[in-house]
Amino acid sequence: MEATIAQDTPKHYPVLLKEIISIITPQYGGTFIDCTFGQGGYTKKILEFKDTKVIALDRDISSEIIAKRIQKKFPQRLLFKNLTFGKLNNLKIKNESIKGIVFDLGYSLNQIKDPLKGLSFSYSGKLNMRMGLNDFSASDVINKLEDNELEKIFKYFGDERQAKQISKKIINERKEKEIDTENLVRIIEETKKRKNFKIHNATKIFQSLRILVNKEISELIYGLINSAKILKKDGVLAVVTFHSLEDKIVKYFFKSLSEDKSVSRYSPKIEQSEKFFDMPIKKPIVPSNTELTENPPSRSGKLRYIIKKKNIYEIKSDILEKFDYLIKIENLGSKL
């Protein structure tokens, strides 16, 4: 799993920034929502254009310090909320006409470098992975859930082939002592034996835990549904994803809103029902060679966007039913 960061340099590179700006066009002014403020890379760039306003969200309260700095530079034009984007509908923005909503999923440089957050397998200590506003930690998951539950989490959220063996080993070891980050990495290494030269052996398991702890599936689905409702006509919803599960959800949602499924290719196109969203580019936009050279971790970034064509509030999509099997796995955390 990748983030919008270069780990060995303090410089922050907002991924696909130029492309995002060319899609949401802040040069003509307007109010935008940055659902993943992070280090404020997107927000700052939008505010550099006059007559713009940004409502920024981040679940991590430590982003607020950066937001305050940006607010000083652009007084009255940035509102920061420590809120998860799944609860976007809780924002009181009735009188705002929202021109663009952006998501840059994953975690930031500051978060991965914070040993207390435990997002990286390079740090030792108690398992955590809470990005902010969470109900339980990765330590609760690993040390309390049943082996068949762990197996599902590793398999569906991490695409981990050895999910079963790893879960069994965890259950055996935790009879003796609580499993921390180092123990977990060792268990994975011992089970997987063969070294993967592309990614660290623990990457997939860590990704699956992060998804569960931060309820990333339901957050994304509700974030997308609420965004599609809030946008005004001609407004743009743009999302940068970093792994296949996220991209699958975004792609499905965008297609379900922009394609007319009711018209079969065999039936005569007498009456085509109205489309409320347009997806101008079917394939995702990926970082340019220049960006890849400057910031190699951007390589898994994929940008997709849709444009709202009508001022409607009801969204017709079967996204909740389609990904219900993933939400059910995420709900395993509710017993912790």
Smaller CB distance to ligand SAM: residue 26 or 170? 26
State residue 239 phi and psi, 5-degree precision.
Answer: -130, 130
Give the full edge-to-edge strand order of the sheet including 277-278. 78-81, 52-57, 30-34, 98-104, 236-241, 302-308, 277-278
Residues 249-268 that bind ligand SAM (CB under 6 A): none
Cα(1)–Cα(121) distance, integer angstroms: 12
Residue 24 lies near ligand SAM (rule: CB under 6 A): no
| Minimal distance, residue 36 CB to ligand SAM, in Å | 3
Residues 171-190 that bind ligand SAM (CB under 6 A): none
Smaller CB distance to ligand SAM: residue 39 or 139? 39
| Minimal distance, residue 86 CB to ligand SAM, in Å | 6
Answer for which of 26, 30, 38, 118 binds ligand SAM (CB under 6 A) is: 38
Residue 32 lies near ligand SAM (rule: CB under 6 A): no
* Rounded to 5°, angle at Cα 107 from 106 and 109: 140
Cα(192)–Cα(181) distance, integer angstroms: 17
Residue 107 lies near ligand SAM (rule: CB under 6 A): yes
Residue 202 lies near ligand SAM (rule: CB under 6 A): no
| Minimal distance, residue 94 CB to ligand SAM, in Å | 21
Smaller CB distance to ligand SAM: residue 57 or 142? 57
Cα(247)–Cα(240) distance, integer angstroms: 8
Cα-based torsion angle of the residue sequence 1, 17, 104, 276 in order, rounded to the nearest 10 degrees: -130
Smaller CB distance to ligand SAM: residue 66 or 179? 66
Residue 317 lies near ligand SAM (rule: CB under 6 A): no
Residue 7 is which amino acid?
Q
Answer for which of 1, 21, 57, 170 binds ligand SAM (CB under 6 A) is: 57
| Minimal distance, residue 75 CB to ligand SAM, in Å | 21
Binding piece for ligand SAM, criterion CB under 6 A, among 48-56, 57-65, 161-169, 306-314? 57-65
Say how many residues touch ligand SAM, by CB under 6 A.
24
Residues 125-144 that bind ligand SAM (CB under 6 A): 131-132
Cα(46)–Cα(14) distance, integer angstroms: 12
Residue 100 lies near ligand SAM (rule: CB under 6 A): no
**Is residue 52 a contact partner of residue 26, using CB atoms and an 8 Å limit?**
yes
Q: Can you say how many angstroms the Cα of residue 116 is from the centroid of all Cα atoms in its chain?
A: 21
Give the residue closest to ligand SAM by C-beta. Answer: 41
* Rounded to 5°, angle at Cα 15 from 13 and 21: 110
Q: Which residues pair with 98 in a beta bridge?
A: 31
At which residue do the structure tokens 């430590």 appear?
62
**Is residue 12 a contact partner of residue 39, using CB atoms and an 8 Å limit?**
yes
Residue 227 lies near ligand SAM (rule: CB under 6 A): no
Site of interaction with ligand SAM (CB under 6 A): 3-4, 14, 36, 38-42, 57-60, 63, 84-86, 104, 106-108, 131-132, 219
